[in-house]
A and B are shown apart, each in its own frame.
Chain A
Amino acid sequence: AQSVTQLGSHVSVSEGALVLLRCNYSSSVPPYLFWYVQYPNQGLQLLLKYTSAATLVKGINGFEAEFKKSETSFHLTKPSAHMSDAAEYFCAVSRPNSGNTPLVFGKGTRLSVIA
């Protein structure tokens, strides 16, 4: 069974600083991996996804993530944090070639950006 672990339920960074949100996965086969963002009182929005093509994936709003098989990681980064990045971020995993098999989500990491 697939699972993801997000290290740190809350991360706080200064505006303009590097954002690093950690996600480690567990999967018996090479997985598909996703990052979602949730703003207050809204649903989840897809930031980026890894589906076995390039290991460095670029997403919306300047975010990117790198798939590292040796470390079973898919950490989310952004070079310079903006106030509007404050939100909850979720990592999710799925099994390839499984049709619409549901995603499994991590517990989420709340990102705070300090002016």
Chain B
Amino acid sequence: ETGVTQTPRHLVMGMTNKKSLKCEQHLGHNAMYWYKQSAKKPLELMFVYNFKEQTENNSVPSRFSPECPNSSHLFLHLHTLQPEDSALYLCASSQDLINYGYTFGSGTRLTVV
């Protein structure tokens, strides 16, 4: 148990489907992040939320839609994805980057067919 829980762990979806990824932390952290991890590529920052407000959108296509209803929960809504969107999606949270760094979830392995 890492303190950051991501569900589901695995997801297979068709290109016309709509699905959501969920991330939950009860560490009291105020910032939450979505990263995309593809094979042979660096971790790609997608979105940052600080105190529920989106502070960064790293030029992510609109077929990815984040939602942060409170400081403990973060969602990533998916619709009309492409096969190249298949990847491991990692959620992370932080309170004090200097002292604690990030706490990552175990990720959701997404396959788009």
Which A residues fall within an 8 A CB radius of B?
A: 9, 32, 34, 36, 41-46, 49, 51, 90, 94, 96, 98-108
Task: Tell me the nearest residue of chain A to B49, going by C-beta.
Answer: A100
> Which residues of B have CB within 8 Å of A43?
2, 4, 6, 90, 92, 104-107
* Interface size grouping (class) on chain B: 20 to 34
Which B residues fall within an 8 A CB radius of A?
A: 2, 4, 6, 30-31, 33, 40-43, 45, 48, 50, 55-56, 90, 92, 94, 97-107, 109
Q: How many A-B residue pairs have CB under 8 A?
A: 64
Complex: A96 Cα to B94 Cα, angstroms: 15
Select which of A51, A102, A107, A108 is within 8 A of B48 by beta carbon.
Answer: A102
A37 to chain B, nearest CB (A): 11
Contact indicator B42/A108 (Cβ below 8 Å): yes
